[in-house]
């Protein structure tokens, strides 16, 4: 019941936040934060249950199953293992960060805003926990619609264009996944005499070789679009640049991770042979994403677009580690997902905070802010060096493991991807130089004066501090996080049967 309660907290919390605006315009944000605190307590219970089981699982630490549409083989089936718990923890932490970033920024229709924010989180939690594929697809759609409203209503100058582009990309590829899912259910009915959307049942389906690759591509397209990977990435810079700060935090920190999770949980276990054939193509796309988007980032003057392209570049390491499909690669992918979630969310929160203060995203209108806002400058420096992969921080551990895993199966891809680390150093330090170093711009320009640019306040520093501690913990003692997912990965890469709970062994 923990998982069902977790989803329910966000659904009912969102409704309560919307209604509470009638009493007080400031009440919705408190309702949203209270929902986050309740969800934290539920996730902590899952963590304690995981620890009490020894930490290494080849099954589920908690699950809930109940009938929904029995005639079609559709159930309410939620389950969580070590990987799920990590993703849930990241989701709720960044949900709190998103609320904190919207605290003073969102003043119009705040109740409806926090309703959409909490329902987005409900959709993400459902995606990470649903093991009935119809239920999974339901939450996949729930996740998209409120994010569309967040961008379209509270975004910036081209918000409707960016929101529509985001929706079209994700909806079209989501329909491709649905067609592939229905094909799997059809073959299950032919082979076992009944319809089923159950994860464990679909693992046992034998797809004809002539269709295996094509059905797999439907899942891959949906998840690679959300990741995102070249060539499905072009929606992300527009969405990030136009979204409010909280929307960017959720997009970069949480929603992108659902694509990687889908590849790990569904695509490769469902289609081990087709995935083995497709792996060189996927790793090639990962390398292109890393290098191309790092290069494009260097051409940006809009600070949020620049960070968006760097997100695509860093998520390329996740795709590379996943399709290496060994323990090192998968651990690297998961660690990169966690570390990137914190560092990218912090950078977008900083960029959004700057835009809220000085009303521009153009780096050409920024200079010398280290003197004006030293706290902000120090925080920006920390997360910039974290993003470029400084040893001792979580991003380094994740990308290093992903490269090691890739090197054991595809040396050229690993070598080329390593150049992405060099590009990351260039664009990260260039942003610091452009925004925070150099002389302050003259007063007649659009740059703010010493009096108008406010430094970070205590609330902002608290949440940045939490994310800093998280990245330091991942970098200095990563075994804490590796232990959570080690049992999941062991089951994924060593299972001999595609009908097992975790299945698919190749590229070893």
pLDDT of residue 369: 84
Structural domains of the chain, count: 1
Q: Residue 208 sits in which domain range?
A: 2-494
Residue for token digits 């990137």? Answer: 340
Q: Which residues contact 444 (CB under 8 A, 6 or more apart)?
A: none
Q: Please, are residues 10 and 119 in contact by the beta-carbon 8 Å criterion?
A: yes
The radius of gyration computed from the CA coordinates of the chain, to the nearest angstrom, equals 22
Give the CA-trace dihedral at 276, 277, 282, 288, to 10 degrees.
Answer: 130
Q: Which residues contact 327 (CB under 8 A, 6 or more apart)?
A: 405, 486, 489, 490, 493
- Counting as low any pLDDT under 50, the low residues of the chain are 54-57, 445, 447-450, 496-508
pLDDT of residue 452: 65
The token duo for 478 is 């990563």
The token duo for 246 is 């909280």
Rounded distance between C-alpha atoms, residue 52 and residue 72, angstroms: 36
The token duo for 49 is 């249950």
Rounded distance between C-alpha atoms, residue 270 and residue 263, angstroms: 10
Residue 508: inside a domain = no
**Residue length of the chain:** 508
221-247 pLDDT tens trace = 999 999 989 888 889 999 988 999 999
pTM across the whole model:
0.90
The token duo for 361 is 């995203």
Residue 86: inside a domain = yes
Coil, strand or helix at 278: helix
pLDDT of residue 504: 34
Coil, strand or helix at 447: coil
Coil, strand or helix at 501: coil
pLDDT of residue 441: 65
The token duo for 226 is 């959300």
Q: Please, are residues 265 and 129 in contact by the beta-carbon 8 Å criterion?
A: no
CB atoms within 10 A of CB 348: 30
Residue 411: inside a domain = yes
* CA-based nearest residue to 345, from 197, 470, 206, 493: 470
**Cross-strand partners of 75:** 67
Residue 20: inside a domain = yes
β-pair type (74-80, 62-69): antiparallel
- Distances 103 to 26, 89, 244 between C-alpha atoms, Å: 9, 21, 12
Residue 343: inside a domain = yes
* CA-based nearest residue to 432, from 375, 361, 378: 378
Residue 504: inside a domain = no
């Amino acid at each position: 019941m923990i998982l069902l309660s977790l989803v329910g907290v966000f659904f009912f919390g969102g409704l309560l936040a919307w209604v509470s605006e009638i009493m007080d315009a400031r009440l919705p944000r408190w309702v949203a934060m209270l929902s986050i605190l309740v969800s934290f307590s539920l996730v902590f219970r899952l963590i304690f249950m995981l620890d009490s089981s020894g930490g290494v699982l080849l099954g589920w630490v908690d699950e809930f199953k109940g009938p929904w549409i029995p005639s079609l083989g559709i159930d309410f089936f939620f389950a969580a293992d070590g990987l799920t718990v990590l993703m849930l923890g990241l989701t709720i932490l960044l949900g709190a960060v998103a609320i904190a970033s919207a605290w003073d920024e969102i003043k119009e229709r705040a109740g409806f805003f926090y309703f959409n924010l909490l329902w987005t989180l409900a959709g993400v939690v459902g995606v990470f926990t649903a093991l009935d594929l119809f239920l999974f697809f339901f939450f996949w759609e729930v996740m998209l619609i409120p994010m569309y409203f967040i961008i379209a209503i509270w975004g910036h100058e081209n918000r409707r264009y960016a929101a529509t582009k985001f929706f079209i990309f994700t909806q079209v590829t989501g329909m491709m996944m649905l067609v592939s899912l229905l094909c799997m259910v059809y073959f299950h009915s032919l082979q076992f005499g009944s319809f089923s959307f159950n994860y464990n049942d679909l693992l046992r389906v034998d797809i004809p070789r002539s269709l295996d690759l094509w059905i797999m591509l439907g899942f891959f397209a949906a998840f690679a679009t959300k990741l995102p990977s070249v060539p499905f990435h072009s929606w992300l810079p527009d969405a990030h640049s136009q979204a409010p700060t909280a929307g960017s935090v959720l997009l970069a920190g949480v929603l992108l991770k659902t694509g990687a999770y889908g590849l790990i949980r569904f695509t490769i276990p469902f289609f081990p042979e087709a995935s083995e054939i497709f792996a060189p193509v996927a790793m090639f796309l990962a390398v292109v994403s890393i290098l191309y988007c790092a290069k494009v980032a260097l051409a940006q003057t809009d600070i949020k677009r620049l960070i968006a392209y760097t997100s695509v570049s860093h998520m390329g390491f996740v795709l590379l580690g996943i399709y290496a499909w060994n323990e090192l690669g998968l651990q690297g992918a998961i660690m990169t997902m966690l570390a990137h979630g914190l560092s990218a969310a912090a950078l977008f929160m900083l960029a959004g905070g700057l835009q809220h203060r000085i009303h521009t995203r153009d780096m050409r209108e920024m200079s010398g802010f280290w003197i004006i806002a030293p706290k902000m400058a120090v925080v920006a420096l920390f997360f910039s060096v974290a993003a470029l992969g400084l040893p001792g921080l979580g991003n380094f551990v994740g990308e290093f493991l992903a490269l090691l895993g890739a090197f054991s199966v595809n040396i050229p891809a690993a070598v080329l991807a390593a150049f992405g680390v060099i590009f990351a150093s260039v664009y990260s330090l260039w942003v610091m130089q452009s925004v925070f170093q150099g002389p302050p711009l003259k007063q007649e320009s659009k740059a703010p004066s010493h009096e108008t640019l406010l430094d970070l306040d205590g609330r902002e520093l608290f949440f940045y501090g939490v994310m800093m501690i998280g990245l330091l913990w991942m970098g200095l003692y990563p075994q804490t996080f590796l232990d959570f997912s080690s049992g999941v990965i062991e089951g994924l890469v060593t299972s001999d049967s595609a009908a097992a709970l975790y299945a698919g062994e190749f590229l070893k």
